[in-house]
Amino acid sequence: MAQASQAAKVFVRQVKPLLSLDHAESQRRVRNLYRAWYRQIPLIVHDFHIPKSEESCRAKLREEFEKHRGVKDLRVIDMLVIKGQSELKEVVNKWKQEVHVMAFFKDTWEPKPKDFLSKFVSGSE
Share of the chain above pLDDT 90, in %: 63
Q: Which of 95, 30, 82, 90 is nearest to 61 (CA)?
A: 30
Instruction: Note the pLDDT tens digit of each residue in 30-81.
Output: 999 999 999 999 999 999 999 999 999 999 999 999 999 999 999 999 999 9
Flag whether 29 is in a domain: yes
Range of the domain at 55: 17-105
State how far the alpha carbon of 53 is from the alpha carbons of 27, 41, 43, 56, in Å. Answer: 28, 10, 12, 5
pLDDT at 12 over 90: no
Flag whether 90 is in a domain: yes
Q: Do residues 66 and 35 touch, judged by C-beta distance below 8 A?
A: no
Flag whether 50 is in a domain: yes
Measured between alpha carbons, how far is 125 from 121 in angstroms, rounded to an integer? 8
Flag whether 6 is in a domain: no
Q: Look at residue 63 in the predicted model and tell me its pLDDT.
A: 93
Flag whether 100 is in a domain: yes
pLDDT at 5 over 70: no
Measured between alpha carbons, how far is 100 from 95 in angstroms, rounded to an integer? 10
Q: Look at residue 125 in the predicted model and tell me its pLDDT.
A: 56
Domain count, the chain: 1
pTM for the structure as a whole: 0.73
One-letter identity of residue 45:
V
